[in-house]
Amino acid sequence: MDDLLIEQQALMKAKVAILAAPDSAFLADVCFSLIHKFDESIPTACTNGVYVKYSPEFFMGLDTQERVFLVLHETLHVAFMHMVRCEDKNKQKYNQAADYVINAFLKKAGFKMPKEGLFDPQYDGMSTEEVYKLLPDNPTGPTAWDDLVSDTDTPEESKERTEAINDILIRASMSAKAAGNKPGSIPKELEIYIDKLVEPKLPWHRIINKYFSSLTKNDYSFKKPNKRFLPNYLPSLYSEGLGHIAIAVDSSGSVSDADFNSFVSEIIYLLNKYKPTNISLITFDTEIKSINEIKNNNELKKVKFVGRGGTDVLDLLNWVNKNKPILTLVFTDGEFHKHDLVIKSPIVWIIHNNKQFTYKGKVVHYDL
């Protein structure tokens, strides 16, 4: 059998073992989101945050369990974004600190570390920066695998790579919650980071409460939230046993895939905390492109973001009038023809970069 085929089969076997491991939904989701390949020019393994490369000789010299450990080790470098965080630091020292943190977590989770791996139990539960501060500037003794590749990116490329990894982390966190994985299945340092990614930034409780209590004032304005976290400004509705909520996203070009993935994370919060009967998650451009009826976290993973045409809300408004959800939230830039149509249920237009926008229902303005 061809050597490359044997190597690829061994790699796939390791990835499948990760998928089958207990409480591994987070790790498996991150792992399967990355590109894995072999490269004879490297000594062990490395990652730049987009791909993971393995030395065929090193990889095949490990037993099956050690291969699983190596794949997870590189996967966690990506999840921690170590290749980005090390850019202004002593790279060798930071790589060593990162290896101590990752290996301590994986050994504690029950994975078998190759004998070449760095491990010291005193670093268990510490962050990479905390370990980094404790190490000498010129580390001696066992060395790290030197597996962090810092590609020369433009600032825009670096930003895009960070956003792509953020999206992977949010999706993987959703998978872990949906699978009911026990606490500790995600490294604490990453849990804190992910919590910050999906944390709502505006007082939506108050906005929605005002909406239902007063129909006289139609406009709210807020200062600059970051576009990266656009979807996290969804309201956290506070009533128990909410009914049918509709959330519509203008997919004509203003909302990126990264925004949409973050947006989904807020729906997870809404589902878990407020238990609406269901959420109709709608994408639209000149017409409705998709409607996903969301009742639990697992269903969110199947949602696809489709569209990219112009913008027309007539089809959406006809759907709202026909289905009459208790509330419809619409994310859009407001660049569309305003139809003279009676809207028969509450609607909130969440508008960015268009302060002149007014329409039937409530309007929430924010700047990018």
296-315: pLDDT as tens digits: 666 766 666 666 678 899 99
Q: What angle do CA 357, 349, 209 make, to 5 degrees?
A: 125
- At the second CATH level, the architecture of 204-366 is 3-Layer(aba) Sandwich (3.40)
Q: Where in the chain are all domains bearing CATH 3.40.50.410?
A: 204-366
Q: What angle do CA 181, 292, 204 make, to 5 degrees?
A: 75
Task: Please enumerate in sequence order all residues whose Cβ is within 8 A of that of 111, keeping only pairs 6 or more positions apart, or say none.
Answer: 21, 65, 68, 69, 72
Q: What's the pLDDT at 217?
A: 40
Task: Please enumerate in sequence order all residues whose Cβ is within 8 A of that of 344, keeping only pairs 6 or more positions apart, or say none.
Answer: 320, 321, 324
Question: 244-250 and 327-332: which strand pairing?
Answer: parallel
Tokens (6 digits) for 119: 């491990």
Q: What's the pLDDT at 221?
A: 44
Please report, in tens digits, the pLDDT of each residue of the chain (368 residues total): 588 899 999 999 999 999 998 888 899 999 999 999 999 999 999 998 888 999 999 999 999 999 999 999 999 999 998 888 887 888 889 999 999 999 999 999 899 999 989 999 999 889 999 999 999 987 766 666 788 876 656 777 777 778 788 878 887 887 787 778 777 788 888 888 887 776 655 555 555 555 444 433 444 444 433 333 333 334 433 344 457 889 888 887 665 555 555 556 556 666 666 666 778 989 898 999 989 888 766 676 666 666 667 889 999 999 999 999 988 888 887 889 999 999 998 898 888 778 889 998 888 776 54
pLDDT tens readout for residues 60-80: 999 999 999 999 999 999 999
Q: What's the pLDDT at 263?
A: 58
Q: What's the pLDDT at 223?
A: 40
> What is the C-alpha separation between 93 and 129, in angstroms, rounded?
11
pTM above 0.95, yes or no: no
> What is the C-alpha separation between 328 and 207, in angstroms, rounded?
14
Q: What's the pLDDT at 240?
A: 44
Is the alpha carbon torsion for 94, 96, 97, 103 positive or negative?
positive
Residue 87 — left, alpha, or beta (φ > 0 → left; ψ -120 to 50 → alpha)?
alpha
> What is the C-alpha separation between 98 and 134, in angstroms, rounded?
12
